[in-house]
Amino acid sequence: MEVILMEDVPEVGKIGEVVRVKDGYGRNFLIPKKKAIRATTRNLKKLQHEKQLAQHHAQSVQQNIMALKDKISGMICVIKKAAGETGKLFGSVTSMDIEAFFKEHGIPVDKKQIQLEEPIKSIGAFEVSIRLMGGVSTTLKVEVEAEEK
């Protein structure tokens, strides 16, 4: 009997695969437990259609991520903080400050995606790595300036 797996089944196959199993195993275990459905022509066409939809969705998500990457890499984040005479900050610039910058500009980046090894504690220009979905990374230029008194 041929079935389409609806979830991963150990030693049988992965989700979405069409596999041949013994009739009793398919009829008495896989199908009643909703782990598989019969591999009829209708179900195969439905599976193919769902795969195409998923592929199309993945492509559109990838395009959005690349557009977001281009947008972020062209930005400069300017943060003003109180600083002493030597250029040391009273406090520090953290990933929360950079996240607030993104929120101001309507960019959906979470502070967990901002790869800041340690808080910035001095005035100057820095590059911060931003890890987006799908393994895509980009850098953001962060300029820390002293607040005017």
SS (H, E, C) 118-140: CCEEECEEEEEEEECHHHCEEEE
How far apart CA 133 and CA 116 sit, in angstroms, is: 17
* pLDDT mean over 31-38: 94
Residue 147 DSSP class: P
pLDDT of residue 149: 65
- The number of distinct structural domains making up the chain is 2
Tens-digit pLDDT profile for residues 62-114: 999 999 999 998 899 999 999 888 889 888 999 999 999 999 999 888 889 99
Q: The CATH number of the domain where 8 resides is what?
A: 3.40.5.10
Domain boundary among 40, 63, 86: 63
pLDDT of residue 148: 78
Domain with 95 in it: 67-146
Q: Residues 76, 40: one domain?
A: no
pLDDT of residue 43 exceeding 80: yes
How far apart CA 101 and CA 132 sit, in angstroms, is: 16
Q: Residues 75, 25: one domain?
A: no
